Amino acid sequence: MFTGIIEHVGTVTTITHGSRESTLVVDLGPLQAGTQLGDSIATDGICLTVAKLDGSHAEFHASGETRAKTTLGAWSAGKTVNLERALAFGDRLGGHLVSGHIDGIGRLVERRKEGDSERFTFVCPDGDSVKTVEKGSITIDGISLTSWDCRGARFSVAVVPHTLAHTTLGTSRTGALINLEQDVISRWVERLLPGR
């Protein structure tokens, strides 16, 4: 589990897309301290397992299913990614409970200044894979944010200056594709209470 509070913005140094899986190496920077083989690291919101370590560089493998349900299939060397190590018992939960299991790919359709912050408006993918509610939690490329102005497949989030400066959202452009994970609790409520 994760919290959606980004610890570091890393860089994909190499990536190879095979017929069945992708192999990528990410520079973890300061997150290398204490990272071990088998650890889970949310990479732009995708829960990936450390398969190899070489200094600050970690190697990950992503299945065909992961490529199909996330933006990872379009990644190339040099891409910056939001990184968060798995939550440990006793840690503060500053965001919300995040599984790292992406529900769908959304798109940034508008970005505009509102005071010192910015309003980002996204559109969810077709179908019912991602649902948002007013003042609900949503994970965008691994970042815990609060959804509002939810209208059909569209919703907005307010992004404060700290988040703009310390995540990849600061450099996101209109049209960018993003990984979306709806709130874990709402996913289970929806599953247990169909049609309500």
Instruction: Report yes or no: 156 and 183 within 8 Å, Cβ to Cβ.
Output: no
Residue 130, pLDDT score: 84
Residues 109 and 81 in one domain: no
Greater confidence (94 vs 112) lies with 112
Of 85, 119, 154, the domain-final residue: 85
| 24 pLDDT more than 80 | yes
pLDDT digits (tens, 9 = 90+) for 31-88: 999 999 999 999 999 999 999 999 999 999 999 999 999 999 999 999 999 999 998 8
| Domain at 68, CATH number | 2.40.30.20
Residue 158, pLDDT score: 96
Residue 21, pLDDT score: 95
Residues contacting 68, CB < 8 A, separation 6+? none
Of 85, 113, 147, the domain-final residue: 85
Residue 81, pLDDT score: 98
Of 53, 85, 117, the domain-final residue: 85
Residues 109 and 41 in one domain: no
The residue-averaged pLDDT of 134-161 equals 95
The residue-averaged pLDDT of 130-146 equals 92
Instruction: Give me 115's structure tokens.
Output: 């005071």
Residue 187, pLDDT score: 67
Tell me whether residue 91 is in a domain. no
Average pLDDT, the chain: 92
Tell me whether residue 54 is in a domain. yes
Residues 115 and 184 in one domain: yes
**pLDDT band (50, 70, 90) for residue 126:** confident
Residue 123, pLDDT score: 96
Distance of CA 63 to the CA centre of its chain: 17
The residue-averaged pLDDT of 157-179 equals 97
Tell me whether residue 46 is in a domain. yes
Q: Within 13 A of 60's CA, how many CA atoms are on the CB side?
A: 25
Q: How many domains does the chain have?
A: 2
Tell me whether residue 92 is in a domain. no
Domain that holds residue 113: 104-192
Measured distance CA(157)–CA(13) in Å, rounded: 30
